Structure 1
Amino acid sequence: MKAVVTTGNGGYDKLDYRDVPVPTPSAGEVLVQVLAAGVNNTEINTRLGWYSSKVTQGTENLTSNEDEMSDAAETADGGWNDATPFPFIQGTDCCGRVIAVGEGIDSALIGQRILIRSCIRSNGWDSLENIWMASDFDGAFAQFVNIAASEVFPVDCDWSDAELGTIPCAYGTAENMIHRAGVDQNSHVLVAGASGGVGSAVVQLCKRRGAKVTAIAGKSKIEQVNALGADTVIERNDSVLSILGEKSVDVVIDNVAGDAFPEMTEVLKRGGRYASSGAIAGPMVNLDMRTMYLKDLTLIGCTAWDEPVFPNLIGYIERGEIKPLLAKSFPLSEIEQAQREFTEKHHVGKFVLLPPAMTEQQKSHF
Structure 2
Amino acid sequence: MASVLLTGHGGPEKLEYRTDVPVPQPQADEVLIQVEAAGVNNTDINTRLGWYSKAVTTDTETASTNGGQDTAGEDASWSGIPLTFPRIQGGDVYGRIVAVGEGVSAQRINDQVIVRNLMRHYVNYRPYECWTYGSECDGGFAQFAVAPSNESYSVHSPLSAPELGAISIAYSTAEGMLYRAGVGAERVVITGASGGVGLAAVQLAKLRGAHVTAICSQEKADPVIKAGADRVIDRRADLSAELDTKSIDVAVDVVGGGGVNKLLAALRRGGRYAIAGAIAGPIAEIDLRTVYLNDLSLFGCTFQEDEVFENVIRYVNNGEVKPLVSKTYPLSDIRTAQQDFISKKYPGKLVLIPPTLGSDA
> Quick check: 1:7–1:86 contact (8 Å CA) kept in 2?
yes
Matches within 5 A, 1:245-256: 245-256=244-255
Q: Which position in structure 2 is the counterpart of 1:240?
A: 239
Q: Deviations over 1:43-99 (max 9, x none)?
A: 111111000010000101112335x724xx243421111212221000000001000
2-side partners of 1:276 and 1:260: how far apart?
12
2-side partners of 1:8 and 1:328: how far apart?
27
Q: Which position in structure 1 is the counterpart of 2:293?
A: 294
Pick aligned residue for 1:75 from 69, 73, 76: 73
SS in 2 for 1:77: helix
Q: Which position in structure 1 is the counterpart of 2:336?
A: 337
1-side partners of 2:77 and 2:85: how far apart?
10
2-side partners of 1:210 and 1:31: how far apart?
39
2-side partners of 1:42 and 1:324: how far apart?
18
**Letter paired with 1:93:** D
Q: Deviations over 1:7-26 (max 9, x none)?
A: 00111110000121001111
Q: Which position in structure 1 is the counterpart of 2:269?
A: 270
Q: Deviations over 1:93-141 (max 9, x none)?
A: 0001000000010111100111001111354555111111111110000
Q: Deviations over 1:168-216 (max 9, x none)?
A: 001010001011110112x111000000110110001000111000000
Q: Which position in structure 2 is the counterpart of 1:363?
A: none
**Letter paired with 2:39:** G
**Letter paired with 1:158:** P
SS in 1 for 2:306: coil
Q: Deviations over 1:327-365 (max 9, x none)?
A: 1100001101111111110211100000011229xxxxx
Correspondence 1:192 to 2:191: yes
SS in 2 for 1:260: helix
Consecutive unaligned residues of structure 2, counting only runs of 5 or more, are none
Give % identity: 48
1-side partners of 2:347 and 2:42: how far apart?
14
Q: Which position in structure 1 is the counterpart of 2:5?
A: 5
Q: Which position in structure 1 is the counterpart of 2:172?
A: 172
**Letter paired with 1:15:** L
SS in 2 for 1:35: strand
SS in 1 for 2:46: helix
Q: Which position in structure 1 is the counterpart of 2:282?
A: 283
2-side partners of 1:246 and 1:125: how far apart?
41
- Give the root-mean-square deviation of aligned CA atoms: 1.4
2-side partners of 1:109 and 1:344: how far apart?
40
2-side partners of 1:74 and 1:286: how far apart?
25
**Letter paired with 1:316:** Y
In structure 2, relative to structure 1, the CA distance for the partners of 1:137 and 1:249 (3 Å cut) is same
Q: Which position in structure 2 is the counterpart of 1:87?
A: 86
> Quick check: 1:77–1:84 contact (8 Å CA) kept in 2?
no
Q: Which position in structure 2 is the counterpart of 1:160?
A: 160
> How much has 1:241 moved relative to structure 2?
2.1
Count of matched residue pairs: 357
Larger CA deviation: 308-317 vs 265-274: 308-317
1-side partners of 2:358 and 2:253: how far apart?
43
1-side partners of 2:131 and 2:336: how far apart?
28
TM-score, scaled relative to structure 1 = 0.95
> Quick check: 1:273–1:300 contact (8 Å CA) kept in 2?
yes
Larger CA deviation: 105-114 vs 315-324: 315-324
